[in-house]
């Protein structure tokens, strides 16, 4: 039996560069992979830039997929690995704030570099010798921890308005500062983000929330004016005070930022749940005996649904985020719940995300983890087959007992399951008796 050849993106990129050079074309690693390698990080993707024109790329890599024929980009595949290979080019005028109206293929890599977004993403690397070619002082910005637009920042952002969010993402993930001139251009052009499709905006927001540095990302979104443009519901959290006996940390915005700061490699659903768990508070704020937010959970679910639909997040994502918001206040009642209710609570889908949201909620406010620890203890103590036992009685059993199907069936079956979860019944006959009494 032959051994399976494993090809990583890095191995494939080196192979592609080697083949291009064998045929007389200059070729380099470029973009985020070079940035990450120089920072000692592990790149996820590897991109190659080359002097080879598009028709030559397709001749040398006949199985490659054409990503953008107009832009001279092909995707080379090999055993699960993928590498984008692009011909050097310069871009002509951008008319839609996203795509150049035309491109000109180049033979000089400097011309290709100068069209790119930020200096830290415009370095060329020879993967064989380790030589780095830097036309824009990107290495100095990497060392100083600066995100800086190449050339005139206003022009760079006008070319592609999505770069406004990319600047935030890179600064947040890498814990870099944004060059003052670059940031001034971001503030000036923040309203331009509306020209970008909501799907692309959502994708960048998702990466800001999940790639690390989410708190810093949202602070930069706020300072740049992008938060106001994209997420006014989150901006509304600012200066909404909370009862200090429960929230000594301050207003709803501060509380949410602290929670975002505590996340470590979260799922998108958990990150969005943290961001939106208190989104209903601004609309329900009132002062009585103390500051209160009556109905903020229900209002929060409503606002979150509207927001996430507006940004066209997938339905499954929206459903889980709604569940996280709807249930986040139930932990306070957990020690006083009936055993059946506790078990139903603990067996919610993806309960680990509910648990982590609650933990972060506590740590960013009063610091009391008693209910979190109660839930953890119950999860350890209750075997899975007791948390989700096979029902002792079903609808078919009720029909066989002479009952006519109807709305009362669900309540009767739930009553029987509650009795089973609480250990009050252990046989089918006992469970059926409980169900029939309920009907």
pTM for the model stands at 0.91
The pLDDT, as a whole number, for residue 61 is 93
The pLDDT, as a whole number, for residue 71 is 77
The pLDDT, as a whole number, for residue 6 is 46
What token pair was written down for 112?
Answer: 């290709």
Coil/strand/helix, residue 96: coil
State phi, psi for 118 to the nearest 5 degrees.
-125, 150
Sheet holding 27-30, edge to edge: 65-68, 73-78, 81-87, 47-50, 27-30, 124-125, 132-133
Give the architecture-level CATH label for domain 145-230.
Answer: Orthogonal Bundle (1.10)
**What residues does each domain of the chain span?**
1-142, 145-230, 237-294+305-387, 389-438
Query: How many CB atoms are located within 10 Å of the residue 245 CB?
Result: 9
285-293 contacts, C-beta under 8 A, 24 or more apart:
285/240, 285/241, 290/243, 290/245, 291/241, 291/242, 291/243, 292/243
The pLDDT, as a whole number, for residue 389 is 93
| Range 255-278 burial, b when 16+ CB lie within 10 A, else e | bbbbbbbbbeebbbbbbbbbbbbb
**CATH 3.30.460.10 is right for the domain spanning 1-142:** yes
Bridge partners (DSSP) of residue 81 are 78
* Cβ–Cβ under 8 Å, residues 29 and 127: yes
Coil/strand/helix, residue 124: strand
The pLDDT, as a whole number, for residue 66 is 85
The whole-number mean pLDDT for each consecutive block of 10 residues of the chain, a chain of 439 residues, reads 57 96 97 96 93 93 81 88 92 61 82 95 97 97 98 95 97 98 98 96 98 97 98 98 94 98 97 98 95 96 98 98 98 95 96 98 96 96 92 93 88 94 94 92
* Cβ–Cβ under 8 Å, residues 259 and 361: yes
């Amino acid at each position: 039996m032959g051994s399976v050849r494993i090809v990583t993106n890095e191995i494939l990129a080196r192979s592609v560069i080697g083949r291009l050079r064998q045929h007389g074309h200059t070729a380099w690693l470029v973009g985020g992979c070079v940035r990450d390698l120089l920072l000692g990080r592990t790149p996820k993707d590897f991109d190659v830039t080359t002097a080879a024109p598009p028709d030559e790329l397709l001749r040398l890599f006949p199985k490659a997929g054409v990503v953008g024929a107009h832009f001279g980009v092909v995707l080379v595949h090999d055993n699960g690995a993928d590498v984008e290979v692009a011909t050097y080019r310069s871009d002509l005028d951008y008319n839609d704030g996203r795509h150049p109206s035309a491109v000109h293929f180049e033979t000089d890599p400097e011309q290709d570099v100068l069209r790119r977004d930020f200096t830290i993403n415009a370095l060329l690397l020879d993967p064989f010798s380790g030589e780095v070619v830097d036309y824009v002082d990107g290495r100095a910005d990497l060392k100083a921890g600066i995100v800086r637009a190449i050339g005139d920042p206003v022009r760079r952002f006008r070319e592609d308005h999505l770069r406004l969010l990319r600047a935030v993402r890179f600064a947040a993930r890498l814990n870099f500062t944004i060059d003052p001139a670059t940031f001034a251009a971001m503030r000036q052009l923040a309203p331009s983000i509306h020209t970008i499709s909501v799907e692309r905006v959502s994708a960048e927001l998702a990466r800001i929330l999940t790639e690390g540095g989410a708190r810093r990302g949202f602070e930069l979104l706020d300072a740049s004016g992008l938060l106001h443009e994209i997420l006014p519901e989150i901006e509304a959290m600012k200066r909404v005070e909370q009862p200090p006996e429960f929230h000594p940390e301050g207003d709803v915005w501060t509380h949410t930022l602290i929670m975002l700061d505590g996340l470590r490699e979260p799922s998108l659903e958990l990150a969005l749940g943290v961001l939106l768990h208190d989104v209903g508070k601004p609309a329900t704020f009132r002062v009585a005996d103390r500051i209160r937010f009556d109905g903020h959970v229900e209002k929060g679910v409503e606002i979150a649904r509207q927001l996430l639909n507006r940004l066209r997040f997938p339905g499954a994502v929206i459903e889980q985020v709604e569940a996280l918001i709807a249930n986040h206040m139930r932990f306070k009642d957990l020690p006083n719940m009936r055993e059946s209710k506790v078990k139903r609570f603990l067996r919610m889908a993806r309960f680990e995300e509910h648990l982590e949201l609650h933990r972060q909620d506590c740590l960013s406010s009063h610091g009391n983890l008693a209910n979190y620890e109660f839930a953890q203890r119950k999860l350890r103590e209750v075997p899975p087959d007791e948390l989700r036992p096979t029902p002792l009685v079903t609808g078919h059993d009720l029909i066989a007992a002479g009952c006519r199907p109807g709305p009362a069936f669900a309540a009767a079956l739930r009553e029987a399951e509650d009795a089973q979860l609480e250990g009050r019944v252990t046989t089918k006959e006992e469970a059926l008796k409980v169900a029939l009494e309920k009907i």
